[in-house]
Amino acid sequence: MVKKLCRWILYRLWGWKIDVTVDRPNKYILCLAPHTTNWDLLLGELYAHAEGFQCQFLMKKEWFFGPLGPFFRKIGGIPVWRSKHTSMTENLAAIAKDSKSFHLCITPEGTRSLNPNWKKGFYVIAQKAELPILLYGVDYEKRIIRCTRSITPSGDIDKDMRDIKLYYKDFKGKYPEKFTIGEL
């Protein structure tokens, strides 16, 4: 019932399409860009429910207050303390290695604001846990969710990050002026 409702809202009511040619294995990092609005979370949740899978996601801890805390945790949110230096990437990589199933969505910009210096934690987690990175792009202009490429970290982070950024160069976020792949 939930799946049908989410499919109807996303594909019929809102008019989104999908172009996803990469399978989702039991364990992966889902790299999602561009991230320019809070609507990306709703869009992602609708997509996941419409396609019948669940994915955890990282979100700044400030959103986990009052009744929103339990709600975000229930739908897969993991709070991030950005002001503290924690070993979050190491902890998530260890959890991923020890789990039979691990699905984590990370937005590499780390913010909804313009940021040419993408965070590399998603890459580090994938490399340490030996996971593929599924490259999901959201294009508000074309109303399409696309994943036509995955990458397995080679260890050459600069080369891999360049390839990842180039994949996203033509995607238009809800607010295109807030998205950049930076200098390559």
Is the per-residue pLDDT at 30 higher than 70? yes
What is the CB neighbour count within 10 angstroms for residue 89?
19
Query: What is the average pLDDT score of the chain?
Result: 89
**pLDDT tens column, 46-59:** 999 999 999 988 87
pLDDT at 88: 79
pLDDT at 98: 87
Sheet holding 27-33, edge to edge: 17-20, 144-151, 133-139, 27-33, 102-106, 56-60, 77-80
**pLDDT tens column, 115-167:** 888 989 899 999 999 999 999 999 999 999 999 999 999 999 999 999 999 99
Would you place residue 83 in the very low, low, confident or very high pLDDT band (cuts 50, 70, 90)? low
Is the per-residue pLDDT at 84 higher than 80? no
Cα distance between residue 146 and residue 113, in whole Å: 22
**pLDDT tens column, 145-157:** 999 999 999 999 9
